[in-house]
Chain A
Amino acid sequence: MGRTTVRRTRGRGAAALAVVVPLLLTGVAACGSGSGGGGAATITFVWWGSEGRANLTQKAVELFQQKNPDIKVQTSFSAYAAYWEKLATQTAGGKPPDVLNVDSRYLAEYGGRNVLADLNSGAGKAISLADVNPELAATGVYQGKRYAVPWAQNTPAMIYDPAAFTAAGADPAKGLTWDQYAEAARKAGTAGSARGVTDFGILDTTLEIWLRQQGKQFYTSDGKLGFTADDLRRYWELASKFRDTKAASPADVTASYNTSPEQSPLGKKLTSSEFAYDNLLPAYRKANGKPLNVAPYPSGANGGTGQYRRPSMFLAVAARSRQQEAAAKLVDFLINDPEVGRIVGTDRGLAPNLKVRAQLAGEAKGNDKTLYDYEAALEPKLGAAPPVPPKGAGAIQKLLQRTYEEVAFGRMSIDDAVSRFMTEAEKGLS
């Protein structure tokens, strides 16, 4: 594949040309097949996630097609990283999907470059946000334009093994301070084969929450870093203290972390807790096999958890879509239809529509009930969501992971890693 990749990479810009030229020469282009005549519209809809999520989403799409027989929806999905690579390619080729999922890390990237339609105008106005929490709804607005609507709400959380922490004399569900957490994780980490926590020095979400606990933010509203080198140094010193006391995972286990619960140290039973998002609890339970639970973050200096209503995933419409009305109809259906809420459950997080959510909360069982109870208890403490991360935010997470790994493997001092991070991050965001 090595050879083809290089060639393909070089050729991407001319992909359209490459397709068009032979067609012109053979005289095929003129008849323009595939534009789908007649009144019916065909739209494409893509998302990221697992097989299980795909089955749920497909059911919701089928219901939409039943209720809108003149609209046909073609779906596809991929894992998170592959999703963005594919989307970038399709977009560059001038053929983005009509309806797509967007992550807040990439909202500025795609919205700011006019790939996404402004839903405040045109067909997007058909999408109702009347029953969505206004603070949550506001997270899809970037530079005054509504590029996306939240499809679900989740919140950062600690997923943990209750047995291990009870044995260590702590109950994360009741809320811990960072000091109490460090102590409990150390005890849990030295008692059994699993360390207390997956090293969180690599996680931008955890850094963000920790910063919010000190009244700071990851990104400012004008797209710069909202913290100083000193803040990052203190964060990495905290993480390193966990690692040095065997509370947190060793460097090679930390380096094996990727975003899927199945592949993560907690999922592989190498640690007893991990910072993630609450809606991933069922996937973690399945991978780990133990009755894991979900708890708020350890509290910081101001006593708060720093957590907020997070749009776990956005729905957006491509600016180039020729079927904006049908696309908007699908988006509205997915966020407001009570039946969809029942079908997709808490797989992506809580339903964005508060009426639907209240109804589902009453009926919830099992994993769903755990999540509804957790978020209901947390609701009064949740703060306002941070501003949309700037262009380049997707690369910042990888930069954080990379530079912290240098620290964890003992190849670089914290100070050197901090200055490398700050220099590269500022370059990447400018």
Chain B
Amino acid sequence: MTTLRTPDPPVAPVAPARVRRRERPGGRRRKSQPEAFAFLAPWLLGAVALTVGPMVVSLYLSFTDYDLFTTPKWVGFGNFAHMFTGDDRYLQSVEVTLIYVLVSVPLKLTVSLLVAMLLNTRRGGTGFYRAAFYAPSLLGASVAAALVWRALFMGGGPVNEVLAFLGWHTPSWVDDPRFSLASIVLLGVWQFGAPMVIFLAGLKQIPAELHEAAAIDGAGAFRRFRHITLPVLSPVIFFNLVMEAIHAFQAFTPAFVIGGGRGGPADADLFYTLYLFEVGFQDFRMGYASAMAWVLLVVIAIVTAIVFRTAKLWVFYDDAEARK
């Protein structure tokens, strides 16, 4: 195996004073460069060939009418224009995805924080409960979990039967456009283990003295939660919010499996990525699919940037407090 060799950069003569200041780190950097690149090479090759390269190609394809089989033809911004002017299903997929993000993310964060607080006590069996609540998120976006979900919520499935027993006769949840998206949101919320574990770690960091002092001052449980737990936990909430929002935008497997591989009844589960997949691999419009992928990338970047911007208003860091 050959390695990528990068010639050492020319070393400019520098003034003695500056040499002394930068001597150790500078010297070390220069000496270890070839070795560093040797160790970096496999990753660098992978990143260029498997990530950067394909991304560049897909950016190019997003301006073409590539159909997988024949040579792509340049169509300029045609794909992007079509999305917002001539494609009702695209707008439907945007709507479904936005609803999913706006409903499932806050719900999931709320549930995971509440459960984390319940589990942050020293009562018997918390170890078991932590494992039990975390397990569903280990399944992640697996096909198996989605299949089980479909079986649970379909016509004549357990959920149907139980509700019917309680006197509420529902149609098949997964096959009725009124309930179908809700069942997918539920699946997403049910897999709250990952943010819960992070919340637990954050809760452990809150000094017990803060709560004790506040309690002595007469603050009730809600006030302590509002004025101690939430502010101290805000960096963790921020992290979870960003991660879960990005995840939610890219949700695919549950919608694919529960929606029968076609976007569900009357397109009720037509998630963005699902439509992208369908356009690319079933309708052979890979150029359009590439354009859709780039729009998604940009939207996620914008949403993340907005969350970061607003973070100044509600996220409190220890060091920021110290600097005041």
Q: Give A118 to B185 CA distance when docked, in angstroms.
A: 49
* Besides A9-B293, A256-B154, A402-B262, 12 other A-B contacts (C-beta < 8 A): A1-B252, A6-B296, A12-B58, A14-B54, A17-B57, A84-B281, A88-B284, A252-B171, A253-B172, A258-B260, A394-B283, A395-B282
A22 and B49 within 8 A (CB): yes
25 contacts between A and B (CB under 8 A): A2-B141, A3-B247, A6-B252, A7-B54, A9-B290, A10-B58, A10-B290, A13-B54, A14-B56, A15-B54, A26-B1, A85-B281, A109-B284, A113-B70, A251-B176, A252-B176, A255-B172, A255-B266, A256-B154, A256-B175, A256-B260, A258-B260, A270-B155, A402-B262, A409-B266
B171 and A11 within 8 A (CB): no
Q: Give A427 to B141 CA distance when docked, in angstroms.
A: 35
Q: Give A115 to B69 CA distance when docked, in angstroms.
A: 7
Q: Give A103 to B267 CA distance when docked, in angstroms.
A: 25
**Interface mask (B123-166 → A, CB under 8 Å = 1, otherwise 0):** 00000000000000000111000000000001100000000000
A9-B277 contact in complex given A26-B2, A113-B67, A113-B69, C-beta closer than 8 Å? yes
B265 and A255 within 8 A (CB): yes
Q: Give A11 to B60 CA distance when docked, in angstroms.
A: 11
Partner of A256, one of B172, B277, B284: B172
Decide yes or no whether A92 CB sits under 8 A from chain B: yes
Partner of A88, one of B46, B68, B267, B276: B68
Decide yes or no whether B286 CB sits under 8 A from chain A: yes
Assign chain B's interface to a size class. Answer: 35 or more
Partner of A91, one of B4, B66, B68, B282: B68
**Nearest CB of B to A95, in Å:** 13
Decide yes or no whether B177 CB sits under 8 A from chain A: yes
Decide yes or no whether A322 CB sits under 8 A from chain B: no
Decide yes or no whether A406 CB sits under 8 A from chain B: yes
**Nearest CB of A to B81, in Å:** 15
A253 and B282 within 8 A (CB): no
Q: Give A88 to B263 CA distance when docked, in angstroms.
A: 20
Partner of B55, one of A10, A81, A89: A10
CB proximity to A under 8 Å, residues B1-32: 1-2, 4
B273 and A2 within 8 A (CB): yes
CB proximity to B under 8 Å, residues A74-88: 81, 84-85, 88
A12-B286 contact in complex given A91-B69, A92-B68, A92-B69, C-beta closer than 8 Å? yes
Decide yes or no whether B261 CB sits under 8 A from chain A: yes
Q: Give A221 to B286 CA distance when docked, in angstroms.
A: 27
CB proximity to A under 8 Å, residues B73-119: 86
Number of interface residues of A (CB under 8 A): 51
For residue B142, which residues in chain A have a CB less than 8 angstroms away from its CB? 1
A18 and B49 within 8 A (CB): yes
Decide yes or no whether A27 CB sits under 8 A from chain B: yes
**Interface mask (A45-89 → B, CB under 8 Å = 1, otherwise 0):** 000000000000000000000000000000000000100110011
B273 and A5 within 8 A (CB): yes
CB proximity to A under 8 Å, residues B23-60: 45-46, 48-51, 53-58
B53 and A406 within 8 A (CB): no
Residue in A closest to B274 when the chains form the complex, CB atoms: A5
For residue B50, which residues in chain A have a CB less than 8 angstroms away from its CB? 11, 18
Decide yes or no whether B250 CB sits under 8 A from chain A: yes
A-B pairs with lowest CB-CB distance, top 3: A11-B54, A2-B250, A255-B265
For residue A130, which residues in chain B have a CB less than 8 angstroms away from its CB? none
A21 and B69 within 8 A (CB): no
B265 and A409 within 8 A (CB): yes
Q: Give A409 to B155 CA distance when docked, in angstroms.
A: 15
A12 and B280 within 8 A (CB): yes
A6 and B276 within 8 A (CB): yes
Which of A2, A113, A251, A252 is the most central at the interface, judged by chain B CB atoms within 10 Å of its CB?
A2
**Nearest CB of A to B221, in Å:** 37
**Interface mask (A230-261 → B, CB under 8 Å = 1, otherwise 0):** 00000000000000000000111101101000
